[in-house]
Chains A and B, each alone.
Chain A
Amino acid sequence: MEQVASQIGIKGIREGLLISVPDRGSFADLMALLNVELAQKQAFLQGSQVALQVGYRKLDKDHLRQLQAVFEQNQLELWAILAEDPSAREAARDLSLATRLSGSQTDLNGNFLSQMPEPGAATAVAPQPPQGGLILKETLRSGRSIYHEGHVVIIGDVNPGAEIVASGDVIVWGRLRGLVHAGALGDETAVICALELNPTQLRIADQIAISPEEKRGRTIPEQVAIRNGQIVAEMWQK
């Protein structure tokens, strides 16, 4: 058992934890292995989001549900299955689990993750931004940078020269004149809202937009989102 347990690898990645398990042995052995390993390290790991690397192991939906349950018991959230076997990936997608990491295909150690999306396969499914948002009740002046995994709310202005990078949405209760990147880990559904929208640049996922040249007289709340592959600003009130 000792020898097998050491085959479980756990490391931190940008999205949370990457847990890799051996792709040989029966599924029952794997479950037993995970149960022991997670229970031992529960205090240290709990609350994390987990991407599970299963190699060439064949897994169906029922297996995946059991894996989800095991992580849940140990207060971990399974959000991605990194599998070499196409049917296992298919099953994971059916359970709305991600099947690859967003952005770069390398982990924090610089190791290249082997699985690449097949042509035509579903594109990257971004991890759900963590529930916790960041609320700042201050004006961000030039030179300030805010990086946050999740949503960011600013009660105050965002001045030119300040920047906010968030994996979720960005709400500015004030004047937005700096740079904001929402959905920075690839979430194209992220939005940016501001009471007065006059940014130097806006980014959502991998799209970039700049304000129109002419100075706009109106100062009304607006929301920015990706519509048909383009960043557009819409009036808050139609």
Chain B
Amino acid sequence: MSGKVITVTSGKGGVGKTTVTANIATALAMMGKKVVAIDADIGLRNLDVVMGLENRIVYDLVDVIEGRCRLRQAMIKDKRQPDLYLIPAAQTRDKMAVSPSDMILVCDELRQEMDYIIVDSPAGIERGFRNAVAPADHVLIVTNPEVSAVRDADRIIGLLEAEEKGPGRLIINRLKPDMVARGDMLSIDDVLDILAVELIGVIPEDESILVSSNRGTPVAMSGSNGSSASQAFRNVAQRIEGQTVPFVDLTPKTGLLSRLNNWFSKS
């Protein structure tokens, strides 16, 4: 068995890499896959908090690399999903504690027994980013529908192409359909127009994400009666598995009058 390494990155900070990592790992685990999430943000770890596993940390990624524990000992088993694990980042060290070849070694070992290894990249384009991308088979680029996030995503795609990691696939996070409809936010088409890469998910802005992150319960876990964001994350997981899932229509429901208006302004 040889698992796939998927790195989640963005360039810009605060666009939702960690949230996306936690939810996609969770959603894949709910589909019966064996999944491990790795927090590569050494020194600024978050993924353990979002997954609600902070209080179970004994060993971390740097302990594994520096030989203080076996890989298995650093893998924290999730509270709810039997086949979901987390390898947390060290809190006290910095990015230089890990090298790209260390990451490749760790991931190659994990490939033996896991279906998916999801790596949460730190923001930026320096050592931490290179560490996270080095072992990747696939890259997911997270961006928000705003100009600065798209600019950074574009830079990241350029760097990935230069490293021959492929163009990556895009997740547009925190989309507000009503703002797009008013013309106050970049639309999906605007973003794709610049980045010109394959879209694998659109996550609508959803208050339940903040609530669930604070609680340490990824929103993807909230089952079929969950929020729209919950459904969107599960759709991404299915697309990663190779299934064809239609994109949820996020255009706000409009009355006859405004539809007529739209129709006239288009022509």
Contacts and interface: CB of A to CB of B under 8 A. Distances in A.
B54 interface: no
A139 B151 CA distance: 14
B154 A161 contact: yes
A175 to B, nearest CB: 8
Contact of A160 (B159, B161, B194): B194
Nearest to B11: A142
Nearest to A140: B158
B151 A161 contact: yes
A141 interface: yes
Contacts of A143: 154-155, 158-159
Contact of A159 (B154, B159, B161): B154
A157 B192 CA distance: 13
Centre residue among A142, A144, A160 by max chain B CB count within 10 A: A142
B204 to A, nearest CB: 26
Instruction: Provide the main secondary structure of the chain B interface.
Output: helix
B15 to A, nearest CB: 15
The bracket for how many chain B residues form the interface is 10 to 19
A202 B139 CA distance: 34
A139 B162 CA distance: 12
A79 to B, nearest CB: 36
Centre residue among B151, B155, B158 by max chain A CB count within 10 A: B158
Interface string B142-175: 0000010001101101110100000000000000
A214 to B, nearest CB: 14
Contacts of B158: 140-144
B194 A177 contact: yes
Contacts of A141: 154-155, 157-158, 161
B210 interface: no
Contacts of A159: 154, 194
Nearest to A156: B196
A142 B196 CA distance: 13
Given A141-B158, A142-B158, A144-B158, A157 B151 contact: no
B196 A160 contact: no
Contacts of B196: 139, 157
A15 B151 CA distance: 35
Interface in A155-206: 157, 159-161, 177
B22 to A, nearest CB: 28
Contacts of B157: 141
B80 to A, nearest CB: 40
A83 B159 CA distance: 48
Nearest to A144: B158
Contacts of A157: 196
A161 B195 CA distance: 12
28 contacts: A139-B196, A140-B158, A141-B154, A141-B155, A141-B157, A141-B158, A141-B161, A142-B151, A142-B152, A142-B154, A142-B155, A142-B158, A143-B154, A143-B155, A143-B158, A143-B159, A144-B158, A157-B196, A159-B154, A159-B194, A160-B147, A160-B151, A160-B154, A160-B194, A161-B151, A161-B154, A161-B155, A177-B194
Interface of A: 139-144, 157, 159-161, 177
When A and B form their complex, which 6 residue pairs have the shortest distance between CB atoms, in order from nearest?
A141-B158, A142-B154, A142-B155, A143-B155, A141-B154, A142-B151
Given A141-B155, A141-B157, 16 more contacts: A141-B158, A141-B161, A142-B151, A142-B152, A142-B154, A142-B155, A142-B158, A143-B154, A143-B155, A143-B158, A143-B159, A144-B158, A160-B154, A160-B194, A161-B154, A177-B194
